Amino acid sequence: MTFSLERPETVGEAIRILSDPSYAPAVPLAGGTDLLLDVDEGRIPARTVVSLARLPWRTLHWEGDTLVVGATLPFAKLPAEAGVRTRLPGLVDAVEAVGSLALRHRATLGGNLGRAAPASDVLPILLAVGAVVRLVSASGEREVPIGQFVRGSRETSLARAELIESVAIPSAPRSAYVWQRVRPANDVSQVGVAVAWAGAPGAWQVALGGVLPTPVRVAEAEAQLPNDPPTAAEIDLAARAAAAGAAFTTDKRATESYRRRLVSTLVRRGFARAMAAGGVP
């Protein structure tokens, strides 16, 4: 498929192009590491590709205890930023699980969210820490909790001509993301598990990736964790509850029964890793 490339310099211009029928179908482009392949194969119809590279969104800053990541910041920039490794260790685990370093030099958090892949390594930790997606469109700005933002496999609640501007990620010094793959390096995770302490009793949050069409929080598991720190027995109950959930996917990467096994193991390991991360903001 061939397409025209637009490289707007302002958010307004980007939104105008995306809403203008004469450019349709038009898709926004962040790093392009995932999108361009789908455009090439015709899986995403695109007459116009709107590059967001010139927009002022290659940013990263703290708003109090919340890390705000601009939509077009390449993943590779994230772990190096002061404080991220200690205040959001689970996010660093997840970001470093994405592709190779060269890929992370271009791939972005905004792009990953916009593509909403079932096996995204980043979505589970965003769910577990309760991230909020900040969107912008012609009708203004709005904030959508990550759990509502992802609607299905490759499906988001983005309206037409609406863009992800940034993601607000509450810090979680005790958080972790752990995964299992056929090949450890540079593979798609069969299962990913994120756990995070959200700062209040009863607020351990657990999210799973790769097991359903979208990453999910597992309330059944979280309900087993009233105390902080949780006991080994509580974690064990949570692991079992997480693995007992709805029908998991069977596909070329893993069978459902193996995924259940992995979920229960990885929930335990996720807690071990999150508690070891320790630290107080």
Partner 1 sequence: MTGPVALVVNGVPAPATDVPDDERLLDTLRWRLGRKGTKEGCRTGDCGACTVLVDGETTLSCLTLTHEVAGAAITTIEGIADDGLGRRVQSAFAEEDALQCGYCTPGFIVAVTGVLAELGPNATRESILDALQGNLCRCTGYLAIQRAVERVRGGTP
Partner 2 sequence: MIRSDAALKSRGGASYGLDLETPGMLHGVLVPAPVASGTIRSVDLSAARRAPGVVVAVGAGELAALLPHGGDRDRPVFPSTQVLYRNQPVAAVAATTLAEARAAARLVRVDVAPAAPLLDIEDRYPEWPTDLATNAPGVVAHVLARHGDLDRAFRSAEFVHRETYRTNGVQHVALEPHACLAEVTDGTWRVRTTTQTPFGVREDAAEILGIPPESLVVEGTWVGGGFGSKGAAFLEPFALVLAAASGRPVRVAFGYRDEFLQDRTTLPAVLRFETAVAKGVITARRVRMMLDTGASLPGRDFATGYAIGFLLGPYRIPVFEMEGYAIRTNKPPFGPHRAPFAPQCVFAVESHTDSLARRLGVDPVEFRLRHVWREGDRTALHQEVGPFGATAALERAQGTIADWRRTLPAGTGIGVGLGFWSTSTGAGGEVRLRLTPAELVIEQAEHEIGSGSIVRGLVAVAERYFGIPADRIRVTNSPTSTAPFDSGVFGSRTAGALGRAIEAAGDRLLTELRSRSGATDPVRLESGPGGFLVVGGSSRRPLADLLTVEERRDGLVAEGRHYGRSGAIDTSRVVEGSFYPYTDFTAAVQVAAVRVDRETGSVKVIRYAAFHDVGTSLDPRMVRGQVEGGVAMGLGTALTEETLWGADGRMLNPGLLDYRVPTIAEIPPTEVVAIEGFLGAGPFGAKGLGEPPIIPVPAAVANAVTDATGVRVTELPLTPERVARALMLL
Q: Which residues bind partner 1 (CB under 8 A)?
A: 1-5, 7, 29, 32-33, 36-37, 39, 49, 51, 53, 76, 96, 99-103, 105-106, 185-186
- Of 100 and 153, nearer to partner 1 (C-beta) is 100
Amino acid identity, residue 149?
F
250 binds partner 2 (CB under 8 A): no
Q: Which of 265, 272, 275, 281 binds partner 2 (CB under 8 A)?
A: 265
Torsion angle in degrees (nearest 10) through CA of 82, 91, 61, 53: 110
Beta bridge mates, 183: none
261 binds, options partner 1, partner 2, none, Cβ within 5 to 8 A by partner type: partner 2
261 binds partner 2 (CB under 8 A): yes
182 binds, options partner 1, partner 2, none, Cβ within 5 to 8 A by partner type: partner 2
Minimum distance from residue 235 beta carbon to partner 2 (Å): 14
3-class SS string, 206-224:
EEEECCCCCCEECHHHHCC
257 binds, options partner 1, partner 2, none, Cβ within 5 to 8 A by partner type: partner 2
Sign (positive or negative) of CA dihedral 44, 48, 53, 57: negative
10 binds, options partner 1, partner 2, none, Cβ within 5 to 8 A by partner type: none
- Of 92 and 262, nearer to partner 2 (C-beta) is 262
Minimum distance from residue 100 beta carbon to partner 2 (Å): 9
Q: Which of 10, 227, 250, 257 binds partner 2 (CB under 8 A)?
A: 257
247 binds partner 2 (CB under 8 A): no
**What distance in Å separates the CA atoms of residue 59 and residue 70, rounded to the nearest whole number?**
5
Residues 6+ apart with CB under 8 A from 90: 125, 128, 129, 172, 175, 176, 177, 194, 195, 196, 274, 277
Binding pattern for the stretch 124-163 against partner 2, x by CB under 8 A and - elsewhere: ----------------------------------------
Only segment of 70-78, 105-113, 167-175, 183-191 that touches partner 2 (CB under 8 A): 183-191
- Cα–Cα separations (whole angstroms), residue 217 to 35, 95, 129, 211: 26, 19, 10, 12
